[in-house]
Amino acid sequence: TSDVSAKFYVRGGAGDQNLILLDGMKLYNPFHAFGLFSVLDPEIIKAAEVYTGAFPAGYGNRLSSVVNVTTRDGNHAGLSGTANLNFLSGKLQLEGPFTGDNSWLISGRSSMFSGTINKMIPNPAPTTFYDLFFKGTAGTETGRLGLRGYTSGDDITPSDPTQPNHQWRSSAFSGVL
């Protein structure tokens, strides 16, 4: 509904009527900074399924849509990593093998725009955020084992000391057999 929000509206429903799943973990607040940024780092995504109607039975109890995001496994060949820094955020991603066909992946981001906005706007937006995702996958004789986790946080700290500070956090962890 707006050029400054990552929230989406499906079939007339509100932005909070979409079920967002990250490797089976429900994300109750899938956006940072009032909807400006997604909590999902595009570089960790392997596939995404979007259902806008006729949801499979396991996804019931939603009015608008279901977005089921599957993350990729870490690098099986060797240790690798990337680092990105721009005016809006900084990111560090590391991945590598355990042994054989087993791998791990860690990706973390943090906002950087408070300092940037302070230089451009006299009354800056006092919002900061972070998110961290990790995934470990190991093969066994009977199948694959996986451990996944996600945590994120947003902070609003006005420059006026008489205004209240606000913080909210989201965390999800899962084990897969």
CA dihedral for 18, 106, 169, 119, sign (positive or negative): negative
pLDDT in tens, 57-104: 777 667 788 889 999 999 988 999 999 988 778 999 999 998 878 999
Give the angle subtended at the CA of 71 by the CAs of 102 and 94, to the nearest 5°: 60
Read off the pTM: 0.81
pLDDT in tens, 20-56: 899 989 888 888 766 677 888 889 999 999 888 777 7
CA 147 → CA 83, 128, 136, 174, 176, distances in Å?
Answer: 24, 28, 5, 6, 6
